[in-house]
């Protein structure tokens, strides 16, 4: 696996005394889609949230080990988590647009971070909406409320909002689980387009989705990384029996 963007080394994570992740060592590759799969409670979302320090927001948690992004440990003392989150965008299970206009949803982040203003901000909004394959549908209603959009459009708006911050990495936590099949297909297609510019890590319960869109798949079980390999290998001939049993629906 060449050219990693994220390196995890002996990563352990605790909720109080409960160890949720155990000794995870793996690299995430640049400009690839990596899927994290595994049964409920296996630590998928926990692992994802460790990559942009979202777990910092939960009390009584503890991280051990290293998470390096572009060679820099994001958990070292002098790192500002807000800076990490600028570099590592996130999209959640349910679309969560701000109750503001479509334009303001996208412009909010860049504006408060002074990334752009005036006509440059307009350009950034357009560029982000285009990258999220939403521009054609909303270009004439930019100042309408984002809440008027359909669920699938709202989710693409959230992706556009994340992209406006010019992240390098995009984390997606079950981004299509609340969407219908057509909206899901659009997002999946978008993910494949986005990997040219971004490194994408997606948590999904839908194994066929992992098979369709990811280049690499990591299988987690009870907080441990059981198998991590090219997606085509995982879905045709996995090396570990637990992986095989999980993806063929024998347990989970």
Partner 1 sequence: MDKNPIRSHYDDKLNHIKEQLVYMAGLVEKSVEDAVKSLITSDSDLAKKVIEGDDEIDLLELKIEDESIKLLALRQPAARDLRFITTAIKINAHLERIADMAGNIAERAIKLSTQPPIKPYIDIPHMARITQWMIKTSLDAFINEDPALAEKVRNEDQKIDKLNEQVFRELITFMMEDPKTITRAIYIMGISKNLERIADHAETIAEMVVYMVTGKSVRHQREK
Q: Which of 182, 230, 238 lies closest to 34 in space, CA to CA? A: 230
Q: Which of 69, 70, 75, 73 lies closest to 55 in space, CA to CA? A: 75
Contact between 198 and partner 1 (CB under 8 A)? no
Select the span of 8-16, 94-102, 177-185, 230-238 touching partner 1 (CB under 8 A).
230-238
Smallest distance from partner 1 to CB 215, Å = 17
Contact between 208 and partner 1 (CB under 8 A)? yes
CB closer to partner 1, 27 vs 243 = 243
Query: Max alpha carbon distance in the chain (Å)?
Result: 57
Which residue of 122, 126, 188, 244 would you call a contact of partner 1, by CB under 8 A?
244
Contact between 10 and partner 1 (CB under 8 A)? no
Smallest distance from partner 1 to CB 250, Å = 5
Contact between 251 and partner 1 (CB under 8 A)? yes
Helix or strand (DSSP H, E) at 157: helix 151-163
CB closer to partner 1, 134 vs 247 = 247
Token pair recorded at residue 191: 């993910």
CB closer to partner 1, 38 vs 238 = 238
Instruction: Give the list of residues 6+ apart from residue 215 with CB closer than 8 angstroms, or none.
Output: 29, 32, 33, 34, 195, 230, 231
The span from the CA of 111 to the CA of 80, in Å, is: 19
CB closer to partner 1, 77 vs 236 = 236
- Secondary structure (3-state) at 222: coil
Token pair recorded at residue 8: 């995890």
Q: Which of 195, 200, 199, 245 lies closest to 219 in space, CA to CA? A: 245
Which residue of 65, 81, 151, 252 would you call a contact of partner 1, by CB under 8 A?
252
Select the span of 3-11, 17-25, 89-97, 206-214 touching partner 1 (CB under 8 A).
206-214
Contacts with partner 1, residue ranges (CB under 8 A): 207-208, 211, 234-238, 243-244, 247-252
């Amino acid at each position: 696996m060449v050219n990693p963007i994220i390196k995890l080394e002996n990563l352990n994570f605790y909720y109080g005394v409960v160890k949720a992740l155990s000794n995870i060592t793996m690299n995430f590759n640049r400009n690839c889609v990596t899927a994290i799969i595994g049964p409920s409670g296996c630590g998928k979302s926990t692992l994802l949230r460790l990559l942009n320090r979202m777990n910092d927001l939960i009390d009584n948690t503890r991280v051990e080990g290293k998470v390096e992004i572009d060679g820099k440990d994001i958990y070292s003392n002098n790192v500002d988590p807000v800076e990490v989150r600028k570099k590592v965008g996130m999209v959640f299970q349910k679309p969560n647009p701000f109750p503001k206009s479509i334009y303001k949803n996208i412009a909010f982040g860049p504006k408060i971070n002074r990334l752009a203003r005036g006509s440059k901000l307009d350009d950034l909004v357009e560029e982000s909406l285009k990258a999220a394959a939403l521009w054609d549908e909303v270009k004439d209603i930019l100042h309408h409320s984002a809440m008027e959009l359909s669920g699938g459009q709202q989710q693409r708006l959230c992706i556009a909002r994340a992209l406006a911050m010019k992240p390098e990495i995009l984390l997606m936590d079950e981004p299509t689980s609340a969407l219908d099949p057509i909206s899901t297909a659009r997002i999946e297609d978008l993910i494949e387009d986005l990997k040219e510019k971004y490194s994408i890590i997606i948590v999904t319960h839908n194994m066929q989705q992992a098979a369709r869109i990811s280049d690499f798949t990591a299988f987690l079980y009870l907080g441990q990384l059981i198998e991590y390999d090219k997606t085509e290998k995982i879905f045709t001939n996995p090396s570990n029996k637990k992986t095989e049993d999980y993806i063929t629906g024998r347990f989970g």
